[in-house]
């Protein structure tokens, strides 16, 4: 499932994130890439060893955690600290697949869902589309600043070369309670119907049936 989540970051949060990144040191993005991805990765990333990165993490991950579409779409069990990537003219990230197991310091997690939060206005740069290969063909994503896209981390994807301006994004990965992407998509759609029924007819028998089906499928499919 490819899911666009609008307005993850509010305008004041977005302005704060941009101001912090404007003052932050960046390093070669290849330093965080695996052996295969390193060959095609040409970008810069905020230095995670520099001071004050935790305040940016709290801002971005707090906003994600509060958003119901993120919670219902990703069903997060564990989320990684974000990478903050910068693309300037000539920079790109060729076709690659995210590493299946990530983590440092002995804390490992499975990457089920990839999340990109757009920090630059789409009119501020040319190129830089995130292109995700799906069963229905390639899907090009270039969303408004503050929006996010969620998609299976098992999907081949790339970032088109930036030809003007600067593309800033925050990228994180989620280990989901439900490993299988087809099951997560089914649960997301079922939950949309469930929430509408709970709001419109909370006492109806069919509401109770749909609610029970959703909760018990979570119980059945949870990877715990």
- Boundaries of domain holding 62: 3-176
Higher pLDDT among residues 135 and 180, named by residue: 180
Q: Are residues 165 and 199 in the same domain?
A: no
Q: What is the pLDDT of residues 177-198, one digit of tens each?
A: 999 999 999 999 999 999 999 9
Do 169 and 189 fall into the same domain?
Answer: no
11, 115: one domain: yes
**Could you tell me if 209 and 137 lie in one domain?**
no
Q: Are strands 113-118 and 109-110 parallel, antiparallel or unpaired?
A: unpaired
Quick: pLDDT tens for 159-173: 999 999 999 999 999
Quick: pLDDT tens for 140-149: 999 999 999 9
Q: What is the CATH number of the domain that holds 98?
A: 2.60.120.620
Q: Are residues 66 and 127 both part of a single domain?
A: yes
One domain, residues 168 and 186: no
Residue 104 predicted with pLDDT over 80: no
* Domains identified in the chain, total number: 2
Do 73 and 114 sit in the same domain of this protein?
yes
Together in a domain, 168 and 204: no
Is the model's pLDDT at 106 over the cut of 80? Answer: no
At 40, the pLDDT band (50, 70, 90 cuts) reads: very high
Give yes or no for residue 36 having a pLDDT over 90.
no
Q: Within this chain, do residues 120 and 209 fall inside the same structural domain, yes or no?
A: no
Give the residue from 143, 160, 176 where a domain finishes: 176
What percentage of the chain carries pLDDT values higher than 90?
91
Statement to judge: residues 113 and 58 lie in one domain: yes
Q: What is the pLDDT of residue 120?
A: 98
């Amino acid at each position: 499932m490819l899911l666009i989540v609008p307005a993850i970051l509010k305008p004041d949060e977005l302005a704060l994130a941009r101001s912090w990144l404007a003052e932050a040191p960046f390093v070669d993005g290849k330093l965080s890439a695996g052996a295969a991805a390193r060959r095609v990765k040409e970008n810069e990333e905020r230095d995670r060893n520099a001071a004050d990165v935790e305040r940016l993490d709290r801002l971005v991950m707090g906003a994600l955690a509060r958003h119901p579409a993120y919670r219902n779409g990703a069903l997060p069990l564990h989320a990684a600290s974000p990478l903050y990537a910068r693309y300037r003219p000539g920079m790109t990230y060729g076709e690659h697949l995210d590493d299946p197991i990530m983590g440092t310091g002995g804390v490992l997690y499975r990457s089920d869902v990839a999340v990109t939060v757009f920090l630059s206005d789409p009119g501020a740069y040319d190129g830089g589309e995130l292109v995700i290969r799906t069963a229905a063909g390639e899907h090009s994503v270039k969303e408004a600043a503050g929006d996010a896209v969620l998609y299976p981390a098992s999907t081949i994807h790339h970032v088109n070369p930036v030809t003007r301006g600067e593309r800033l994004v925050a990228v994180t990965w989620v280990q989901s309670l439900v490993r299988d992407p087809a099951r997560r998509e089914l649960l997301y759609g079922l939950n949309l119907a469930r929430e509408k029924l709970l709001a419109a007819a909370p006492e109806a028998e069919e509401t109770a049936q749909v609610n029970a089906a959703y909760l018990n499928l979570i119980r059945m499919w949870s990877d715990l």
